[in-house]
Amino acid sequence: MSDLMKNAFRAQCQCGQLSVSFTQAPVAQLVCHCRDCQAISGLPYTNIAFFKTEEQCAQGQFDPIDMTGGSGKPKQYRRCSQCNGFLYATVDVLTGLLGVAADKLEPPFEFNPMAHVWTSEKAPEVEIPSGVFQFPKAPPFRPGKKVGTAAT
């Protein structure tokens, strides 16, 4: 059995050429409304699960898309070199984490977001459920720490 098959959480692009898997559960799950995620995904927001990079096993070829995040630090989106599907990203301000497109994660993964981030760039047609943590920009937390307080 390959390392990829032993891992508990696996995601792949639409054509299956690019995949990434992890041995441990994500440390954070967020809904991102930033314009970069909108442009990369083609959707009004992106559901992202953040995993520790040291627990990953990646296979396949990707095309990197380098950008500067809202923090002013670099981030890199990675798309499949064949089907062009966005699969994961690295964000320098989140050292040691890999953000995976949650809709590409295979069962038994279930997306359960901690918060909505970059709501200042939210598409007008998107409604965020009441009582959910919301941040107009990046959230004020680091992995392993609780998210702040809910927005009113």
For the stretch 4-30, pLDDT in tens is 445 689 999 999 999 999 999 999 999
Q: Outline where DSSP puts E strands in the chain.
A: 9-12, 19-22, 28-32, 46-52, 56-59, 62-68, 74-80, 86-91, 97-101, 115-117, 134-135
Residue ranges of domains in the chain: 3-135
Contact 60, 18 (CB under 8 A): yes
When the pLDDT of each residue in the chain is averaged and rounded to a whole number, the result is 86
Which of 3.40.50.450, 3.40.930.10, 3.90.1590.10, 1.10.1060.10 is the CATH number of 3-135? 3.90.1590.10
List the structure tokens of 121.
């760039």
Tell which phi-psi region holds residue 17, choosing left (phi > 0), alpha (psi between -120 and 50) or beta: alpha
Contact 64, 77 (CB under 8 A): yes
Residue 62, beta-bridge partner list? 80
pLDDT score of 58: 87
Report how far apart, in Å, the C-alpha atoms of 106 and of each of 12, 46, 49, 109, 129 are: 8, 16, 12, 6, 25
pLDDT score of 83: 95
pLDDT score of 92: 84
Query: How many residues are listed for the chain in this entry?
Result: 152
For the stretch 49-66, pLDDT in tens is 999 988 788 899 999 999
| Cα-based torsion angle of the residue sequence 135, 137, 142, 146 in order, rounded to the nearest 10 degrees | -10
Contact 117, 32 (CB under 8 A): yes
For the stretch 122-136, pLDDT in tens is 999 999 999 999 999
